[in-house]
Structure 1
Amino acid sequence: MRTPPSRRRRPDIAGGKPVWLFDLDNTLHRASHAIFPAINRGMTQYIVDALHVDIDEANRLRTGYTLRYGAALLGLTRHHPLDPHDFLKVVHTFPDLGSMIRHERGIARLIAALPGRKIVLTNAPETYARAVLAELRIERLFERVIAIEHMRDRRQWRAKPDHAMLRRAMRDAHVSLKEAILVEDTRSHLKNYRRLGIRTVWITGHLARKPHVNGVPTRLPGTGRPHYVDRSIRSLKSLRLGTRSVRWKGRKPGQ
């Protein structure tokens, strides 16, 4: 008799020879502190200037395309005459990038201590991604950066959480899906890629903090531990084997 899917044990995150797929923003650093607000302002202004619309329409297009396609760029290139390379360059260039970044203490040591290969998988452009990694002093720890330019196929731009894009990117990197572990803050990406058999880690430490009512912390809507998450962690230090602060779905290894 086959075991129902809901009763099957989740695979151990640390088993075998893992290939870590790290998202960048709000995973390796706290982009919500200053970078995300700046990117959103830059995108909105670019849309205003390029498409000659008012700021309310520009915000509607930016947020709508992000929700629909996973990245605003995809909707803009599919529905408007816009230069995607110029768009990416303009909205992701920050002369004061170093002062905008917030990150965990000892991040290089934390990443280096993880067994297996490490790859950055981000919907951001490569130049920006490498600039952030350089500021964090961890670029050398990753064998490659798969940025949004590399996700494009012959027909169109693609981005997370596109299935075909990920399969192709993993083939190019010689990564088996069963070996991959996605560390990501965006739940929709985790949900979509868990269906491909990838193990998933949801990092929540850079997300919005829980509000307080009469001094008592409350849970934000939709921030419970989803069924498609193998591990839920607050910080990268919890990826270390044997760390007690990791919250497991199901039983812990060895139980």
Structure 2
Amino acid sequence: MRTSRPKRRRPQIHAGTPVWLFDLDNTLHHASHAIFPAINAAMTQYIIDALQVERDEANRLRTGYTQRYGAALLGLTRHHPVDPHDFLKYVHTFPDLRAMLRSERGLKRLVDALPGRKIVLTNAPEAYAMDVLKELGIERLFERVIAIEHMRDRRFWRAKPDHMMLRRAMRDAHVRLADAVLVEDTRSHLKNYRRLGIRTVWIVGHLPRPARADGTPAHLPGTGRPHYVDRRIRSLKSLRPGTRPEGRSDR
């Protein structure tokens, strides 16, 4: 006779003194509204100009390197003679960043109310990250920004979800992995870092929704809570103590 295995309870995000690791784009602001389309277009154009390839090939390289390495920059620097600093500056420069930003109402109050330390962990460059945080009025809420320039080692540029990079970054910031809570929109990053013992929060409120045939928004594919996600939320409001029982999803 087969016996069913007891269900294992998901780790809870306990109140206390966690260290919050916030992604930037589509986590602290709605990058899919205007910024991501502009970045993707700029990346493609940069690849066209730098490598002298057609647009379809440039798009293939951009998306392929992003999926393989976590950031297009990593593939470009490993396989092509591309200046990483020039690339980052080109694709993250906007004539009117303020007009492109969208964020939750009361963002500063929501982030400030969270107990514990707060760090931004982003595959974007530092200058862009700081500009976004300043425009959002929340730059002083974070003790540091760990941007892609800070993730590199002596041999390679690295980015989320690289394990070696995160261990080193947390060691430099004096953060125990067991104390860290990663708030992130990218599931592959959450999945990789959950294996290190980090608690994970998947925020989906800024993710682009596919359209139905009639043009109305459809449900995001696969938006249940995967086993490597401790909490799934739509809004940072759900991180406030007492807003929802710990461990449940914000459906």
Query: Which band: TM-score by shorter chain?
Result: over 0.9
- Cross-structure match for 1:187: 187
Greater Cα offset, 48-57 or 23-32: 48-57
Instruction: Work out the percentage of aligned pairs sharing the same amino acid.
Output: 78
Kept after mapping to 2: 8 A contact 1:238/1:245: no
Q: Deviations over 1:163-186 (max 9, x none)?
A: 000000000000000000000000
Question: What letter matches 1:17 in structure 2?
Answer: T
Question: Compared with structure 1, are the counterparts of its residues 148 and 215 closer, same or farther at alpha carbon in structure 2 (3 Å cutoff)?
Answer: closer
- 1:208, distance to aligned residue in structure 2 (A): 2.0
The CA distance in 2 between the partners of 1:211 and 1:51, in whole Å, is 34
5 Å-filtered alignment, 1:32-51, equals 32-51=32-51
Question: Compared with structure 1, are the counterparts of its residues 245 and 134 closer, same or farther at alpha carbon in structure 2 (3 Å cutoff)?
Answer: farther
- SS of 1:7's equivalent? coil
- Cross-structure match for 1:178: 178
Kept after mapping to 2: 8 A contact 1:202/1:229: yes
5 Å-filtered alignment, 1:180-219, equals 180-209=180-209, 211=211, 219=219
Question: What letter matches 2:91 in structure 1?
Answer: V
Which TM-score applies when normalising by structure 2?
0.92
- 1:130, distance to aligned residue in structure 2 (A): 0.3
| Structure 2: runs of 5+ lacking an equivalent | none
- 1:210, distance to aligned residue in structure 2 (A): 5.9
Q: Deviations over 1:106-134 (max 9, x none)?
A: 10000000000000000000000000000
Q: Deviations over 1:167-216 (max 9, x none)?
A: 00000000000000000000000000000000000000001236457899
Kept after mapping to 2: 8 A contact 1:20/1:118: yes
1:229 aligns with 2:229: yes
- SS of 1:248's equivalent? coil
Kept after mapping to 1: 8 A contact 2:24/2:121: yes
- Cross-structure match for 1:145: 145
Q: Deviations over 1:23-66 (max 9, x none)?
A: 00000000000000000000000001111111111111000100
- SS of 1:67's equivalent? helix
- SS of 1:119's equivalent? strand
- Count of aligned pairs: 246
Question: Compared with structure 1, are the counterparts of its residues 194 and 45 closer, same or farther at alpha carbon in structure 2 (3 Å cutoff)?
Answer: same
- Cross-structure match for 2:90: 90
Question: Compared with structure 1, are the counterparts of its residues 111 and 53 closer, same or farther at alpha carbon in structure 2 (3 Å cutoff)?
Answer: same
Question: What letter matches 2:147 in structure 1?
Answer: A
The CA distance in 1 between the partners of 2:105 and 2:99, in whole Å, is 15
- Cross-structure match for 2:105: 105
Kept after mapping to 2: 8 A contact 1:211/1:220: no
Question: Compared with structure 1, are the counterparts of its residues 78 and 113 closer, same or farther at alpha carbon in structure 2 (3 Å cutoff)?
Answer: same
- Cross-structure match for 1:27: 27
Question: What letter matches 1:233 in structure 2?
Answer: I
The CA distance in 1 between the partners of 2:239 and 2:165, in whole Å, is 26
The CA distance in 1 between the partners of 2:165 and 2:69, in whole Å, is 13
Question: What letter matches 1:199 in structure 2?
Answer: R
Q: Deviations over 1:57-107 (max 9, x none)?
A: 111100010011000000000000000000000100112000000000110
Question: Compared with structure 1, are the counterparts of its residues 246 and 26 closer, same or farther at alpha carbon in structure 2 (3 Å cutoff)?
Answer: farther
- SS of 2:53's equivalent? coil
- 1:242, distance to aligned residue in structure 2 (A): 1.2
The CA distance in 2 between the partners of 1:77 and 1:218, in whole Å, is 37
